[in-house]
Structure formats: C-alpha cells, structure tokens
Amino acid sequence: MVNTLPAGLYADLIKSLGNFYGRGGLGRPWGERTYCNPPYGRDIGAWIKKGWEESQQGKLVVMLIPSRTDTRWWHGYIWDAQKHRPRAGVELWLLPGRLRFGDSKNAAPFPSAVVIFRRHNRRHNELGL
C-alpha cells in the first residue's frame, strides 16, 4: 500500500518510537521499535538493508529516506516491480512536496518517503496482501 502522509502525523510517529539511529548505527543491533534518518550519501543502501534485516528479527523499523525510485536499494528492499506495489512487510508513505527542516528557507532537492519495515507475515503472503 502506498499512502500520502498528512502534515503533522510524521512528528507524532517519530515521537512514538523509542530508538533513534544515525551515524554508527550500522554496527550495532537496533531496538524493538526504531526510527532511522540515515545519511543520504552513497551508503544509504547499507542503511536500507540494515533496516530490512532488523525487521526480519521481528522489529519495527521506520525510516525517513529520499524517494529514489531509480535505485537498486529501492527495488531490492522497498518496491516489488513485478507486483507493482511495496514488497511484503513494507509500508510506504510518500511525503507531499519537499521537506524543510526547522526554519530553513530551502527545501530538500528531492522528494522524501517514510518506509516502515515489519517482519513479513507468511499468512499475509498467502492472502495476497
């Protein structure tokens, strides 16, 4: 399912999660409920992979990422191109417009998305969800 995240809901979402990871988070286990705003450079694929791997251990992982639909990591962990929807266990929220942080006059130069990784439920797969 692809959704558009209403204004204000994002802030409430990250406040409800207990762990926040940035630099250095790749080398340690994440908590049961984790929010991650990964560095947006060339290593972002490793962060996406880590988020997915942590979710396969039954953890909830919420990530704020650039909406880079032309990348290997997007198609490897987020989007199922054959089924034309997010992969099993992935919830995708597209943010309208471009993000601005704080009082910044400039917006991000790319669209953003919130990706929620949950452990894939085999029963959901059987139901085609």
pLDDT reading at 48 higher than 80 = yes
Average pLDDT, the chain: 80
Pairing outcome for strands 60-66 and 33-36:
parallel
What would the pLDDT profile of 77-109 be if each residue is shown by its tens digit?
999 999 999 999 999 998 888 877 777 788 787
Q: Where are the domains of the chain?
A: 2-98+107-127
Per-residue confidence (pLDDT) for residue 51, from 0 to 100:
94
How many Cβ atoms sit within 10 Å of the Cβ of residue 114?
21
Bridge partners of residue 105, in order along the sequence: none
Per-residue confidence (pLDDT) for residue 123, from 0 to 100:
44
Report the predicted TM-score, pTM, of the whole model to 2 decimal places. Answer: 0.77
Per-residue confidence (pLDDT) for residue 1, from 0 to 100:
46
What's the whole-number mean pLDDT along residues 39-50? 92
For residues 123 and 78, the model is more confident at 78
The Cα–Cα gap between 54 and 50 comes to 6
For residues 50 and 39, the model is more confident at 50
Contact call for residues 82 and 53 (beta carbons, < 8 A): no
